[in-house]
Amino acid sequence: MNAPCLHLLPGREKSLLRHHPWIFSGAVQTVSGDPAPGDTVEVRDAHHRLLAHAAFSPASQIVGRVWSFDPEVIIDRAFFADRIAAALRLRRAVGLDVPEGGCRLIASEADGLPGLIADRYGEFVVCQILSAGAERHRQLLAELLQEATSCRGVYERSDVSIRAREQLPERTGVLLGETPPDTIEIRENGLRLLVDVHHGHKTGFYLDQRANRMAIGQVAAGKNVLNCFAYTGAFAAAALAGGARHVINVDSSGPALALAAENCRLNGFGPDRCENRRQDVFEALREYRDKQQRFDLVILDPPKFVDSKAALPRGCRAYQDIARLGFQLLNPGGILASFSCSGLMTPELFQKITADAALEAGVSGRIVRRLEQAADHPTALAIPESFYLKGLLVRI
């Protein structure tokens, strides 16, 4: 019996030959074998050459996500166990998968497991399952993650709208083992930080900013700091640990700021050094500007402003607006730390936007340092989309 198969149109195999794992619906001529969503299918070119094995997702524009480009491979328990083991070896090689820490164990396509995000927080693993293929194997993946990490429990946080693109419902809850506590304490760069895995953003924390928080600590000594889109205040804790005089956290979420206050307290920083302000960041920036309040370091770590090509012009304007306002709030010699987590925002475009913002603010700047996602969020050479987080430290 022939295996289910995606048959490509002539000439549409080029990206697969470069080992890019996405197969768009417009590249497929026919589908044979009547596969169900999440089933493994062969991928063959117009000459019937077997190119890859992929997960089938008929509801998505990305109709196939490649598991393997090896024609001989079998997509079974051993395959997934090997992929998870390889991902863990990568993290351990750079010293990031430690029992008391937080670490991204699986970064979807970048680790050869499209649609699976897995973060370790102490003794628990928190997953997001984002594609039909990962959904098809969700329980097996949970079992393998528990075996590989000896964690107490695997918890699912698949409460994200992107699942709708694959006609999957949002879902949260225990996949295996114990239920994690309301907050989990992790250690990062010597800091104690609390993570809300049940209700926090993503899986509870932004592990991708680990190295960048260290970079902020290295330039924060003696500075008065404004931390925008502060979430649970990890940048604030890093700045204070680096010797900042005072930090103001601004975020629209009350629960996130409550955890930010607790994170400061855990690390011995009293309320006299860290203020939490619940407000829309754009409003707060304009208010500080109008009051002519100035800072030595302004941190801008906004949510993703660009989630599609159509949204790119509007998103560019938003990034430029906050950067302009941030520049206007700096004392002479001050530093702007500006970030974008939008994958469609290239480093070159982000620098141009930041330069335009400086011009609008009437300042000139020099790039002190370029920043990017942490090492446990790897960039696969063949998948440029796996590089998404970029940042600039700019001194005026």
Q: Is the pLDDT of residue 100 over 90?
A: no
pLDDT at 2: 79
Indicate whether 157 and 50 sit together in one domain: no
- 341 touches 386 (CB < 8 A): no
* Three-class SS state of 185: strand
Q: Helix, strand or coil for residue 377?
A: coil
Same-domain check for residues 96 and 22: no
Asked if residue 329 and residue 388 are part of one domain, the reply reads yes
Q: Averaged over 295-305, what is the pLDDT?
A: 95
Q: Tens digit of pLDDT for each residue in 69-92?
A: 999 999 999 999 999 999 999 999
- Give the lowest-confidence range in 56-60, 342-346, 375-379: 342-346
- What is the C-alpha to C-alpha distance for residues 355 and 323, in angstroms, rounded to an integer? 9
One domain, residues 95 and 132: yes
- pLDDT of 306 over the 90 cut: no
| Same domain (yes/no): 86, 20 | no
- Asked whether residue 55 carries a pLDDT value surpassing 90, the answer given is yes
Q: What is the pLDDT of residue 235?
A: 98
| Pairwise CA distance, residues 109 & 322, whole Å | 31
Domain that holds residue 382: 206-395
Identify whether residues 259 and 322 lie together within a single domain: yes
Residue 99 has pLDDT above 80, yes or no: no
Which residues, including other chains, have CB under 8 Å from residue 82's CB and lie 6 or more apart? none
Residue 200 maps to a domain: no
Flag whether pLDDT at 59 surpasses 90: yes
This prediction has a pTM of 0.94
Instruction: Say whether both 170 and 217 belong to one domain.
Output: no
User: What average pLDDT does this structure show over 6-29?
Assistant: 96
Q: Residue 155's pLDDT is what?
A: 98
pLDDT in tens, 312-322: 889 999 999 99
> Residue 145 corresponds to which tokens in the numbers above?
């993650």
Say if 358 falls within a structural domain.
yes
Residue 86 lies in a domain: yes
Domain co-membership, 114 together with 27: no
Q: Residue 32 pLDDT more than 80?
A: yes
What confidence tier does 309 reach under pLDDT thresholds 50, 70, 90? confident
Q: Please tell me whether residues 28 and 117 are part of one structural domain.
A: no
Q: What span, in angstroms and rounded, lies between the C-alpha atoms of 87 and 68?
A: 15
Instruction: Provide the pLDDT confidence category of residue 269 given band limits of 50, 70 and 90.
Output: very high
Pair 372, 345: CB distance under 8 Å: no
Is 199 among the domain residues? no
Instruction: Please tell me the predicted confidence (pLDDT) of residue 6.
Output: 97
pLDDT value at position 1? 56
Same domain? For 225 and 245 the reply is: yes
Pairing of strands 5-8, 40-44: parallel
DSSP label at 28? E
> What per-residue confidence (pLDDT) applies to 227?
98
Does 94 have pLDDT greater than 90?
Answer: no
Q: In the chain, count of helices (H) and strands (E)?
A: 10, 20
CATH number at residue 359: 3.40.50.150
Residue 90 inside a domain? The answer is yes
Is residue 196, in this structure, part of any structural domain at all? no
Mean pLDDT over 154-169 rounds to 94
CA 86 to chain CA mean position, Å: 20
CATH number assigned to the domain comprising residue 113: 3.30.750.80
pLDDT band at residue 178 using 50, 70 and 90 as cut-offs? very high
Residue 334 to residue 327: CA distance in whole angstroms: 9
Q: How far apart are CA 112 and CA 105, in angstroms?
A: 12
Q: Which two tokens stand for residue 62?
A: 């990305």
Mean pLDDT of 57-66: 96
pLDDT digits (tens, 9 = 90+) for 118-158: 999 999 999 999 999 999 999 999 999 999 999 999 999 99
What total of structural domains would you count in the chain?
Answer: 3
Domain match, 16 and 157 both: no
Query: Which residues are annotated as catalytic?
Result: 341
**23: pLDDT strictly greater than 80:** yes
CATH code of the domain in which 13 resides: 2.30.130.10
- The answer for residues whose C-beta is within 8 angstroms of residue 95's C-beta and 6 or more apart is none
With beta carbons less than 8 A apart as the criterion, state whether 393 and 369 touch: yes
Rounded Cα distance between 373 and 280, Å, is 26
> How many angstroms separate the CA atoms of 86 and 74, rounded?
17
